[in-house]
Chain A
Amino acid sequence: MKSYLALMKIDLKLAMRMRSVIFFNYLFPLMFFFIFASLYRARQDPKLIIRVLAMVIPLGIVGNGLFGAGMRAIQERELGVLRRYKVTPITPLPLLVASMVTAWFVFMPYILVVLSISHFYYHLPWPENWPSLLVFISLGLVAFRSLGMVIASTANNMQEGQILIQLFYFPMIFLSGATIPMEVFPPILQRMSQFVPASYLVKGIKDMISSNQSIGAEWELVVVLIVAAAVGLTVGLKLFRWEKEEKIRKGAKLWVAAVLVPFLIWGIYNYVKSKGAAPAQWPQQKGTGSLHRDNGYAHRPRAS
């Protein structure tokens, strides 16, 4: 227990001392927030700022998960920092848990800041169901950090890691609705986006803020995220390597796929469910509040 606390304390201190952490966790996403907000002219209607939030929060989660967890793990291994830990009696678990908890503490101020700006400047009412929203965001963070960790553990060096992470990052942010609104996508891309893990974040966050849904109403998404996180952590621990000299077996790279399986199953399930109702549509259209028309999915033809 002592080592968990000590690791969290030091992780948090180190994070605050790194300019890149401040930049990528706060400045960079905030910049997107203001760009999107002005593109949508979000001052005119508080509903519009919800769309912006549903983009920039997932953007932050995906970046924190893939780059924050993934690249850092590779870096520490490459520099020989993990090697020094290997000499001590600790296991990988406290290292992973500490980095998870630290990431949460680093990420939450960003959420508070974007919600506050949305409230005070863009006149968005405070989300009634904010505990649900925070739990959902936290869960997303854990799931994406697990994914980042697994990707990191399959990369043999920095360059490989960089390529692999970008390979996941860009489709994730462009095909999920986190940067380009879904309604401009052709039907085929809309369908594909159902298989992109980040789109679950976009949808969940939008629903929770716009229709004040509780996390219970999104239980299916929650299950997918929990399963992905659990698989990710398990695989991450299994593939954890302390030294760059320990190369990963070729076949082991397929473990990345294991983390994506829950999302894949969920995508297929939805596809089957909405078959005949082309193009595919999000399975839950309940809680249709007044804001729902604006949530980005309403423009798609509906099965009726």
Chain B
Amino acid sequence: MNTDSVISVQALQKRYDKVEAVKGIEFEVRAGEVFGLLGPNGAGKTSTVEILEGLRPRTGGEAMVLGFDPERQKQQLKDRIGVCLQATNLPAKIRVQESLDLFSSFYTRHVSSEKLLQRMQLWEKRAAYYETLSGGQKQRLALALALVNDPQLLFLDEPTTGLDPQIRLEIHKLIEEMREEKRTVVLTTHYIEEAERLCDRVAIMDEGKIVAIGTPAELQKNSRTQSQIQITCAAPITQSWPQWPDAIETSLDKEGRTLTVFSSRPARTLFEIMRWLDQQNMQLEDVHLKRPTLEDVFVELTGKKLRE
């Protein structure tokens, strides 16, 4: 086990009455990274993080979070982590500031609620009842509540699901700030862009299993889906082309000006194509390189789309 790992999970299992939600997964989260669990609804993301937060008992396997066993040392663990649940609520008639003060009182460590409110842009709303807040404001309050004990480890379960794109971007900025503050963040999401943009490492989860794990770039690199190179020349290509290295399939469009090449090592292939075009004295008009996205990786690994 890595010494600077904040979370380590081995052979973790979770079974409800009939459903086997988590089927023996294994991963580590290192200090200071944003770790993403990416997967469709029902993949077992919430079950996994809620076991790690000390909220649900596990059916099998081992888990260690900040050096605590989340099942046997719940209280100590809960005192040290920050959590933003997927589904939760506050009393309708509690005021924003009151809720922060209340939750601070539960922890041994706390930060000034004033600063938190300002940072989450809730200062003007501090006297508002919870029931009057918009969806985005409620989510920012949920993030503020997750930070009242100044935790070094944060769990955010689908923090942007169901929010408008603009509010989603606001939340993304806040999560990036948390990373800059060197907090470790475990984030679950079913939005590919979110995982790509925010996460240092991503575990792709499907039907209770982790099907791939790595940095977004690694996952894309290891994908069997090839990159696509598209080159448009000023004049039609009439001469025949050689077999470029690593090129798997090459085709020319009807006009004869656009060449499409699939490659397993696009950087090298592209370089060779450019050299050839130069030798042939062809004028270049446009170049496109399309790498496989995490979405492609996901489809390739699971045979399904993340969102219908």
A18 contacts across to B, CB distance below 8 A: 93
Which residues of B are interface residues toward A (Cβ below 8 A)? Answer: 53, 55, 74-76, 78-79, 83, 85, 87-91, 93-94, 98, 101-103, 105-107, 145
Q: Chain B interface: which of A77-85, A103-111, A164-172, A259-267? A: A77-85
Which residues of chain B are within 8 angstroms of A91 by Cβ–Cβ distance?
75
Chain A residues near B107 (CB-CB < 8 A): 88-89
- 18 CB contacts below 8 A, A to B, read A6-B101, A6-B106, A7-B105, A10-B94, A10-B102, A14-B91, A14-B94, A18-B93, A80-B87, A80-B88, A81-B89, A83-B88, A84-B89, A86-B55, A87-B53, A88-B106, A89-B106, A91-B75
Nearest chain A CB to B160's CB is how many angstroms away? 19
Considering the chains assembled together, what is the distance between the CA atoms of A257 and B271 in angstroms? 81
- Report chain B residues within 8 Å CB of A86: 55
Q: Which residues of A contact B83 (CB under 8 A)?
A: 87
Contact B85 A84 (CB under 8 A): yes
User: What's the count of A-B pairs with C-beta under 8 Å?
Assistant: 58
Of all chain A residues, the one with the shortest Cβ separation from B110 is A2
CA distance A25 to B101 in the complex (A): 28
**Within 8 Å of chain B (Cβ to Cβ): is A272?**
no
Q: Is A5 an interface residue (CB 8 A)?
A: yes
| A window 51-99: CB within 8 A of B | 76, 79-81, 83-91
Chain B proximity of A215: nearest CB distance (Å)? 35
Number of interface residues of A (CB under 8 A): 23
Q: Does A284 contact B (CB under 8 A)?
A: no
Q: Choose one: B78, B91, B93, B101; the contact of A87 (CB below 8 Å).
A: B78
- State A87–B86 Cα separation when bound (angstroms): 12
Residue of A nearest to B80 (CB): A89
By Cβ-Cβ distance, the 3 closest A-B pairs, closest first, are: A6-B105, A80-B89, A88-B106
Binding site secondary structure of chain A: helix
Cβ of B94 and Cβ of A89 under 8 Å apart?
no
Interface residue SS majority, chain B: loop
Q: Are A87 and B55 in contact (CB under 8 A)?
A: yes
From B129, which residue of chain A is reached at the shortest CB distance? Answer: A17
- Which residues of A lie under 8 Å from residue B78 when comparing CB positions? 87-89
Residues of A within 8 A of B53 (CB): 87
B79 to chain A, nearest CB (A): 4
Contacting pair B106 A3 (CB below 8 A)? yes
B residues in contact with A90, CB < 8 Å: 106
| Residues of chain B within 8 A of A85, CB atoms compared | 106
Besides A80-B87, A84-B145, A87-B55, 13 more A-B contacts (Cβ < 8 Å) are: A5-B105, A6-B101, A6-B102, A14-B94, A18-B93, A83-B87, A86-B55, A87-B85, A88-B107, A89-B74, A89-B76, A89-B106, A89-B107
A interface residues with partner B (beta carbon < 8 Å)? 2-3, 5-7, 10, 13-14, 17-18, 76, 79-81, 83-91
What's the nearest-Cβ distance from chain A to residue B132, in Å? 13
A29 → chain B, closest Cβ, in Å?
A: 23
Q: How far is the CB of A139 from chain B (nearest CB, A)?
A: 28
* A3 to B: closest C-beta gap in Å: 5
* Contact indicator A88/B103 (Cβ below 8 Å): yes
Question: In the bound complex, how far is the Cα of B92 from the Cα of A17, in angstroms?
Answer: 10
Give min CB distance, A246 to chain B, whole Å.
Answer: 9
B74 neighbours in A (Cβ, 8 Å): 89
Task: Select the residue from B78, B85, B91 with max chain A CB neighbours within 10 A.
Answer: B91
A83-B88, A84-B89, A88-B103 known; A13+B55 contact, CB < 8 A? no
Q: What chain B residues lie within 8 Å of A88 (beta carbons)?
A: 78, 103, 106-107
B98 x A10 contact (CB < 8 A): yes
A13 to B129, CA, bound (A): 12
Cβ of B91 and Cβ of A76 under 8 Å apart?
Answer: yes
Residue contact A84 to B98, C-beta cutoff 8 Å: no
Decide yes or no: A79 and B89 within 8 Å by CB, A14-B94, A87-B53 being known contacts.
Answer: yes
A6: nearest residue on chain B (CB-CB)? B105
Chain B's nearest CB lies how many Å from the CB of A237? Answer: 16
Cβ contact within 8 Å between B106 and A84:
no
Q: Is the CB of A14 within 8 A of B93?
A: yes
State in angstroms the CA–CA spacing of A85 and B55 once bound together: 11
Q: How distant is B291 from chain A, measured CB to nearest CB, in Å?
A: 39
CB distance from A40 to the nearest CB of B (A): 38
The listed residue (A13, A79, A87) touching B98 by CB distance below 8 A is A13
Q: Which residue of B lies closest to A88 (CB)?
A: B106
Chain B neighbourhood of A81, CB < 8 A: 88-91
Chain B, residue nearest A80 (CB)? B89
A99 to chain B, nearest CB (A): 12
CA distance A83 to B83 in the complex (A): 11
- Shortest B87–chain A CB gap in Å is 6
**What CA separation (Å) do A84 and B98 show in the bound complex?**
15
B106 to chain A: which residues have CB within 8 Å?
A: 3, 6, 85, 88-90
Question: Which B residues touch A79, using CB under 8 A?
Answer: 89
Q: How far is the CB of B73 from chain A (nearest CB, A)?
A: 11
- Bound Cα distance A5, B104 (Å): 12
A13 to B94 CA separation, bound complex (whole angstroms): 8
Q: CB within 8 A of B105: which of A2, A80, A87?
A: A2
Q: How far does the alpha carbon of A80 sit from the alpha carbon of B90 in the complex, in Å?
A: 7
For residue B245, give the distance in angstroms from its CB to the closest CB of chain A: 54
